[in-house]
Copies of this chain bind each other. A is one copy, B any other.
Amino acid sequence: MRYRKIPDETVRRLPVYLRGALHLSQGGVERTSSRKLADLIGVEPWQIRKDFSYFGDFGTRGVGYDLRSLISRINRILRLNVGHKAALVGVGNLGSALLSFPGFRMYGLEIAAAFDVDKRKVGRRKVGVLVEDITSLRYLNRRGIHLGIIAVPENASQEVAEALVNAGVKGILNFAPRYIVVSRGVKLITIDIAMDLACLPYYVPAGRAVERTGFLTRP
């Protein structure tokens, strides 16, 4: 089933598969099956097989998946086989947390530049990265930077997005809780932390009723 439109949901799951595969591989395992990988990451085996099938044959029937080739394959699909540099805009609380966030490295991602409007921050280093003045946010692609991360207050986010696009950025991860318009050809993904937390009460049984099986130790 090659050469069909790849579902977005499939693309979203690939990094999860990759992390699972890396985890197994670092534990010394050389081969896995859709069942084992699925149990590890919390999906169903046929989901994994179906997702892989959009890109061709990944494994060997009766045997499973060779982890080295699986990892290399997913890395290539996601274009993570070459490292990527990102520019962070906004070195406040969230931005600083992102600078020291350990999770990017496994995907070959690195925050290689940081920008802020606050003159007191500019010129200093944060987690080894020099904080530059936001007005010098230009020509990022000449510096090999194609990704941007927006961690500024929402009222500045559209402006920052435009500056990033003008500087040559082609993909943006946005943490500002606001609708942002970018030109076609630029991919924007928004993470809205408060929105996700705001969904939780909907799913939570009301009041003090209904406790259920599980880890609960009743007082």
Contacts and interface: CB of A to CB of B under 8 A. Distances in A.
Contact of A198 (B80, B183, B213): B80
Interface stretch (A26-34, A59-67, A112-120, A139-147): A139-147
A177 interface: yes
Contacts of A206: 79
A194 to B, nearest CB: 4
A191 interface: yes
A182 interface: yes
Interface string A151-168: 001000000001001100
A3 to B, nearest CB: 7
Contacts of A183: 212-216
A165 B98 CA distance: 28
Interface residues of A, number: 84
B213 A197 contact: no
Contacts of A198: 15, 18, 78, 80, 107, 109
Contacts of A46: none
A102 to B, nearest CB: 8
A193 interface: yes
Interface in A173-219: 173, 177, 179-187, 189, 191-206, 208, 210-219
A96 interface: yes
B184 A212 contact: yes
A93 interface: yes
Contact of A204 (B11, B146, B153, B196): B146
A181 B213 contact: no
B197 A185 contact: no
Nearest to A210: B185
Given A97-B94, A181-B42, A197 B104 contact: yes
A101 B173 CA distance: 18
Given A40-B179, A185-B210, A199-B11, A170 B205 contact: yes
Q: 7 shortest A-B CB distances, which residue pairs?
A: A183-B214, A171-B200, A103-B194, A42-B179, A187-B203, A185-B212, A93-B97
